[in-house]
Amino acid sequence: MDVAVIGVPADLGASRRGTDMGPSAIRYARLARQLEALGHRVYDLGNMLVPVPESREPGDPRRKYFREIAALWHELADLVEAQCRSGRLPLILGGDHSLSVGSVAGVARVTGDLGVIWVDAHGDFNDPSTTPSGNIHGMSLAAITGETTPDVLAALPAGLPVPAGRTVLLGARDLDRLEKEKLRNSGVHVFTMKDIDEQGIAALTRKAWELATAGGRGQVHVSFDVDVLDPSVAGGVGTPVPGGLTFREAHLMMELLAELGGLASVEVSEVNPILDTQNRTAEVAVDLVASLLGKRIL
């Protein structure tokens, strides 16, 4: 297939600096070479221009850098939409997870029947009224599903919200108190690490795909936050949480999603090379993307 790589060097949505270097770290880990070895044609569109926090004032402490991030959502949505309409599969490299609002909006405009599999240690389901930090990367899934405050709703790009019933959070293990309540009442399907431990990653991956694609009738956007992995596998993240997916669990998930089909777009977020050792986290991310796009053991 034709794969359009879009770098979003953003860390406005997070507390810790460094995810703005994530796209470069992923490219340096031989992303294009791995995908080309699978027979894909890779079109690297470079990086979007994103302001650094030092050049802006954070503004409202409940929604830090919201004006800048909302502008990024719209620009990214337009770019992703254009690549989808040209027949390319968008592969978005983050950057902090706030960028996903633009990614999903752009794809949703084209597919018209999109579900989301959100692979993350965190819920990202806060809003400006519940957030303990004011960081937008902890509010992105709530925004995508429309479970947010009126001011954020008004700033969303066209194409959103995505129905909560077509949205699956997979791998969660660190949720805020008010966020838990919001998720319980939202209609989003949540499979925690406890569920994975009890039922196995294979069964829950298939279940997540069934829910997100409405039984294979629609397409799916896979949003992969590398902090879903155990820190022993991927330590270069800003918000590590013990007890995450193992290397093989993550690969099996990606291999199964590739086999099931219906992939509309992919996003990898929260790689932070400042906190990494010898670019290990980016290399793991590239291996997982390759599995999602068809790499097999045999």
Give me the active site residues, please. Answer: 97, 120, 122, 124, 137, 225, 227, 270
How far apart are the C-alpha atoms of 214 and 141, rounded to whole Å? 19
Q: Specify whether the backbone of 65 is left (phi greater than 0), alpha (psi in -120 to 50) or beta.
A: left
How far apart are the C-alpha atoms of 70 and 56, rounded to whole Å? 14
| Phi–psi pair at 173, nearest 5 degrees | -155, 5
Look up residue 254 and give its amino acid.
Answer: M
CB under 8 Å to 196, separation ≥6 — which residues?
170, 171, 204, 245, 249
CB contact at 8 A, 280 and 127: no
Burial 6-39 (b: 16+ CB within 10 A, else e): bbbbbbbbbeeebbbbbbbbbbebbbeebbeeee
Torsion, CA 18, CA 169, CA 100, CA 264, rounded to 10 = 120
CB contact at 8 A, 96 and 13: yes
Q: What is the DSSP letter of 229?
A: B
Integer CA distances (angstroms), 148 to 76, 101, 136, in order: 20, 12, 12
Give 57: exposed, middle or buried? Use CB within 10 Å, 0-12, 13-18, 19+. Answer: exposed
How far apart are the C-alpha atoms of 116 and 276, rounded to whole Å? 28
| Phi–psi pair at 107, nearest 5 degrees | -70, -40
